[in-house]
Structures are given as C-alpha cells and as structure tokens.
Chain A
Amino acid sequence: MASVTLTQPTIKRPGRLTLVFRYLRRNPSLAIGVLIFTLLIVFTIIGLLTLNLKHAYPLAVRPKQPPSWQFPFGTDFYGRNLLTAMVVGMWQTAIIGFVAGGVGTIIGIILGFTSAYFGGWIDRIITGLCQILTPIPVLLIQVVIASSLDKRDVTIFTMAFVVVLLAWMGPTLVIRSQVLSMKERQFVSVAKLSGMGPFGIIFQEIMPNLLPFIAAAFVGQVFAAVFASLNLAILGLGPQREPLLGNIIWAAQSQSAFFNGWWWWPLEPALALVLILGSLALINMGMDEIANPRVRRSE
C-alpha cells in the first residue's frame, strides 16, 4: 500500500496584540472610547510631570488672561493657570471616579453574591433595601450628606465617599440577577456534588464567569461617580479650594464668566468632562458587547 503523507498545513496563530487590535476593529465604540481615554491619561500624566502644580491654585498667575502662547488655556478670575488646573482637575476627577466606582462595585459584588447565593431572608432584606432606595433621587441625598460636612473637611476623598454611599444599588441588582442565573447552571451543580464549599464555588466557579459583567459594572460605576460628583460640584458642594473640573465651572458661573466675556473659563472644563464621560460611555457600550456574546459581532 502506498502511503500517503499528508502535509500538515501550518496554522499561524496571530499574536496577542494583533488579536486585540482585530477585536477593536470589530468593536469601534470600545476602540474610540479607549483611544480618547488613553489620550486623556497621557495629557494628565505629562501635565502632572512637567507643570508647576502650584499654578492650579488661586493667586499664582496673572488673572483673567485669554488663551495665549504663555497660557495656552488662559487664566481665570482667581489667578489660576487653567492648563495646570485642568491637569490637576482631571487627576482629581480620576481619583473620585476610580475610588467611588471601585468601592461601589465591590460593595455591589459582595451584596449581590450574598443576596443571590444564600437567598431567603438575606435576599429579601437586600433587594427590599435596594427597591426602597431606588426611587429616592440620589443627587438629593448626596446634597444632604455633602452639605452636612464641614466645608473645610470636604476633600476629594470625602467627595468620593459621599458619591459611593448611594451608588451600590445598581451593581448589587445586576450581579444578583447574574449570579441567580449562573447558580442553576450545570457546572455549579457538578462543583456542589463534588463537595466544593460555597466560597469555593463563588470564587472559583461563578466569579470567573462574571468578570466581564463586573468589568462593565465597574465602568458604569466610574461614569456614575464622575456624573454625580459633577452635579454636586455644580451646586457648589465640591471641595472649594480644589480645581476639580465641576468646581471650575461652578466658580466661573458664580463670577458670571460669560457675561464678563471670559468664555474659555467654563468652556474648557466642560469640554474635558464631555471627553471623560463620552469615552467612559463608549467603553461601557463596548464592554456590553463583550459581556453579552449574543450581540457580539463576528469577524
């Protein structure tokens, strides 16, 4: 018998980076979101490293200067260099977003898992609490908390704390419903039958499958935290001394910036916030696509 030798076709598996780029091409909202977000990070980091950060605080430079070569973003009524103020404000917005978003997501994960996995009266208390708190407009409760704080005590971190206090209901309910559906899957039953404890099942079986949802919930939380801190700052409840982006807009509006012709003052932080929120929203939309493979587009 003549033997036929089959030539093995060599399959070249593309590198990891190529795969990432190919995926980004299929998921344009994620790609654009990540691009804008990266540019903002680069802007902030370069600014933090090269600029004199004292210029972000009052009485540092000549006040009320329109954008020029010396001050590319102009200066405000209080004598802050707005370029530096934007860099510092962007950095502070990032801190609030990530701290509040992170803590909110973690609380959501803990409560969501407890509620769904153990069920019974724990579940009833947690979901009941979420349902009662949901119709209360979050902004207003945040106003109560923020205005109860001593104005000198308001820092970036208390701001994040105020935001996170009422921002865990969303992720709790999302993760609860995901765990509930995951709990009934066969691989969980197999793990249970093979004698795995509840924590083993939660951390080794269910958690890895939930990661895309958790990531999407986290981005959503960061968005909500930036949004909420902006609203508080616009009402004048932000840390008064800091050049937080919302604070700059509030200060500009308090000094009637448009009326006095200082258009650059409120416009720049507003643009920066639109870029931040827009990129987060785009990333969130892209993440949804990863989390729900049903809507994922094929190559």
Chain B
Amino acid sequence: MSFSIIARRVLFLVMVVWAASTITFFIPRLSSRNPVRERFAELSRSGGFSPADLETIIASYNAKFGLDKPLLQQYADYMGSILRFDLGVSFNKFPRTVVQLIMDSLPWTITLLLVTTVLSFIIGNLLGAVAAWPRAPNWVRGLATPFILLTGVPPALLSVFLLFFVAFRFKWLPLGGAYAVGTIPDFESFSFWLELVRHQILPALALILGSMGFWVLSMRGMGVTIQGEDYVNFAEHKGLGPRRIFRDYYLRNALLPQVTGLALALGTVLSSAIIVESFFALPGIGRVLDQAIRSNDFTVIYGIVLFVTIAVATLMVILEFIYPLLDPRIRRS
C-alpha cells in the first residue's frame, strides 16, 4: 500500500473525528437547555440552599468548567481536551470522569459485541454461501429466508419478543440484568460465570438475529457472482470434489469482500448493541448512556457519543488497512 493512500485514509479519519466533535460541541450550545442550571435547580428543589446561593453556585461552576468564556475559546479548549482524550467530568457521579465511566463499562460491551459479531458473521456468511450453492439440499437453502426477513426488525423489537417467549412464557432465561438480584459478583466461582452467561444469551440472540440477515443477503449475492467465474469452472473441469471447490474456490473468494461489509456494518452493530444493553439493563456503555439520559448527565451523554464515533471511524480505517493483507489482488494493484 502506498504512502499517499495511508495519508488519505488518516486524513479522512481526522475529518470524521473533527465533524463528530464539532457536532457534539455546537448542538448542545445551540439549545436553550442549561445543564448546570438544571442540575442545581433540581438539587435546590430538594432543599439545602436558597435560590440566591443558586446563582453564585452556577456562576462558580461556569467559571470552573470555562462555560463563561467566549464560544470560540471554549471550542478551542474542547478540541484540545479531545486530543488529550479528556471528555470531562460526570455531573451526576461527580469526581468520576467520563473516560473512567466508559472504561469501566467497555469490557462488557466489547465482549457482547465481539461474540455476537463473530457468530453472526460466521453463521450468516455460511448460510448465505450455502443459499447460493446450487448443489446444496433445498431445505438448507431455505434456512436463509427467515433470517433475511429478520433484517427489517429492529433489535429492540426482537428483544421484546425474545423476552416474551423465552423468558416470560417458558421461563428458560432471566428477564434482564447482568446477574440475579442479590448475587454477589464473584469472578472466581464457576456458577457466577454461568449466571453471567445465562443473562447474556437473550441480548446476544437479539443482536445476532438482527444482524445475521445482512450477511446472508450480501453473501448470497456474492456467491452467485463467484459461481460464474472462470476459476470455479476450471476447478470443476479439473475434477476437484465439490467440497474442495466450495471451501477453497468459492467460499474463500466470496468471503473477502464481506470483510469490507464488516466495516460498513460497524456503526449499526454498535448502535444496536447500545440499545439492547439499555433495554436489558446490562452493564455496558448502553446502560451508562441510559442512566445519563435519565439523570440529565450531559457530559456523559456527549462523551459517550464522541467516544463511540471515534471508535467506529478508527475501526473502519483499520479494517481498510487489513483488507489488502487478506486479498493479494488489492495489494498488487
């Protein structure tokens, strides 16, 4: 890969981060809402200090966070703090910073995302490849259709149905949360891990079912194209067995472009993970966001949005760099 391509991709990444941070900076300031005032007005309603003190407190807070400076100065400070990876302090859980809150919840989200994405990528692509393979038995090819239909259903709705059937009607799995109420987290014991897994099955299932159809559909389209290629014909005429052709000639070549799809799907997958986490009350970024929205913790809301956007854009660029390593045809051209 040439230097200019790398430079262009990195520049693109910088542009995306800049756009996202500009949006998260200006939109809240355009609105009539004043997070500091709202927070302290709430506190003063529950008693503690007089309304006259309220103004003093707000003024001192504005000075502390630099909210009394001119807008452009604030913008420059904000951009500087993003470069230092400082997303501010939570209003609600005060001494804790937004980055701390994100880091605490990140392992949960990453585990859930990794497991669901890998599973849905593998199963979806295999189903899609088989659906386009003319020699596969009909019932196997038919398996693809229900998953394609499920692509239109948002993960939140899938969660409602899964909760109703699996957890409510048949009581096979718990209704939500990371572990049963009253359990003391003990990461040493096997039964606690089992408990954790049991609580993650439904959210993971909602995410897998919701995203699998995308892979099935694009892989099926890809598979049809690959079958017409000369090298597949050649392999057939060489007398290679169907298993060998399927695995080495057909699947391998069809799978490559799907990695690009992985980069495209990333934003959607992450958004659905956040929604499912908040829906099932799982610890994770979605839960932190949900609590921040419920308690008007603005710095946390904006911090999470910015963090996730930067993560998605970075991962997209990284995947683009990995792609030529997987596909020698691109590397050479």
**Interface of A toward B, CB cutoff 8 Å:** 131-133, 135-141, 143-145, 147-150, 223, 227, 230-231, 234-237, 246, 249, 253, 256, 258-259, 263, 266-267, 270, 273-274, 277-278, 281
Contacts and interface: CB of A to CB of B under 8 A. Distances in A.
B interface, size bucket = 35 or more
Shortest 3 CB-CB contacts between residues of A and residues of B? A270-B160, A137-B267, A148-B31
Given A137-B270, A234-B278, A270-B160, 14 more contacts: A135-B316, A137-B308, A137-B309, A138-B271, A139-B275, A143-B293, A145-B27, A231-B154, A231-B156, A249-B156, A249-B160, A258-B164, A277-B154, A278-B153
B30 interface: yes
Nearest to B280: A253
Contacts of B89: none
Contact of B33 (A135, A149, A259): A149
Interface class of chain A by DSSP: helix
Interface of B: 12, 15-16, 19-20, 23-24, 27-28, 30-33, 149, 152-154, 156-157, 160-161, 163-164, 167-168, 175, 267-268, 270-271, 274-275, 278-279, 289-290, 293-294, 298, 301-302, 304-305, 308-309, 312-313, 316
A246 to B, nearest CB: 8
Contact of B153 (A237, A253, A274): A274
Contact of B19 (A133, A148, A234, A256): A133
Contacts of B24: 141, 144
A19 B21 CA distance: 54
Contact of A231 (B23, B271, B309): B271
A250 B321 CA distance: 40
Contacts of A246: 156
Given A147-B298, A234-B278, A263-B168, A140 B271 contact: yes
B287 to A, nearest CB: 11
B104 to A, nearest CB: 19
A231 B278 CA distance: 11
A270 B298 contact: no
Given A136-B20, A147-B298, A150-B32, A258 B163 contact: yes
A249 B267 CA distance: 24
Nearest to B24: A144
Contacts of B167: 258
Contacts of A230: 154, 156-157
B289 to A, nearest CB: 7
A150 B33 contact: yes
A204 B326 CA distance: 48
Contact of A270 (B157, B289, B309): B157
Given A136-B267, A140-B308, A259-B175, A148 B154 contact: no
20 contacts: A135-B316, A136-B16, A138-B271, A140-B309, A143-B293, A144-B23, A147-B298, A148-B27, A148-B28, A150-B31, A150-B32, A230-B157, A231-B154, A231-B271, A249-B156, A258-B164, A258-B168, A267-B164, A270-B161, A274-B157
